[in-house]
Structure 1
Amino acid sequence: MLEVTTAPDPSAAPAGRPGRVRRRRSTTESLGSIVISFEVVIVFLAALVVFGLGRLPAALALGGGGALLLLMIVTVPLLRYPVGVWLGWIAQAVFFAAGFLVSEIFFVAAIFIGIWTYCMVMGGRLDRARRAAEAAEPDPSSL
């Protein structure tokens, strides 16, 4: 006889260990982390352009770009708190200010500021609507 075996469910917890419950991320946090993650690549390339064009000394161009990259990387896990959103706004402003070194950065930074603004506004609306919907539904343990 042919015996059919199924692969174990990768999402199931191993025997003897309870499964980890993942924290539910807010929409603002999810959208913000997506925007910042894409922007990190662009900021890295912009720092290389500023360095390559000789607009700043190498240490300042690459160090400043590295500092902005570090700010953005630190911002992603902090997006669950209001300070993370503020750090995101600061990162957007610093990137926009880099346009004074290479004018094309103004255009790219303006696009990211628009995306960031849209994500923060719509994410906030969706999060408020979800909280209101969760508050309106009855608690299953009280039934």
Structure 2
Amino acid sequence: MRTLCASTLLGEFFVIGFAGLVAMKLDDASMAAVWTVCGAGMLLSLLLCGMITRPGGIQLGWTFQVALVLSGFVVPMMFILGLIFGGLWWASVHYGRKIDEAKARWADQQARQETGGAAA
């Protein structure tokens, strides 16, 4: 699960950076404000890559996805991109867990074969 979720967050890192470039063209926000918010979002996406397997990491990821969608109030295209990445986040968590379960079953089978088929 970690690899899939980290890949999604890494993609968001770049999307946030590009959204910052778009937001710079807005008359309502100063360049310092845009890059403070975007820089914090980019940093948070990288930090979340390392927190995925820790308690609460997935929930923080969901919070981050909601914040990404809400950023659409500043850059409207982020509504669409936020929803796309929210779907990718769901898929990463859902299928990542299934992959982790399959790996655990396979490792258990391998361990049983090495011990001569004895039940654990």
Which interval holds the TM-score relative to the shorter structure? 0.7 to 0.9
Gap regions ≥5 residues in structure 1: 1-27
Aligned residue number for residue 118 of structure 1: 91
Equivalence map 1:1-143=2 (5 Å): 28-137=1-110, 138=112, 140=114, 142-143=115-116
Deviations 1:11-66 (A, max 9, x none): xxxxxxxxxxxxxxxxx101111111122111111022112223323222111111
Instruction: Report the structure, 1 or 2, having the larger helix content.
Output: 2
Equivalent AA in structure 2 for residue 73 of structure 1: L
Q: Which has the larger radius of gyration?
A: 1
Distance in 1 between residues matched to 2:59 and 2:25, nearest whole Å: 31
TM normalised by structure 1 equals: 0.71
TM normalised by structure 2 equals: 0.83
What SS does the aligned partner of 2:80 have? helix
Query: Quick check: 91-100 or 53-62, which moved more?
Result: 53-62
Count of matched residue pairs: 115
Kept in 2, the 8 Å contact 1:55–1:101? The answer is no
Alignment identity in percent?
Answer: 24
Structure with greater contact order relative to length (CA < 8 Å, sep ≥ 6): 2
Offset of residue 84 of structure 1: 2.6
Equivalent AA in structure 1 for residue 60 of structure 2: L
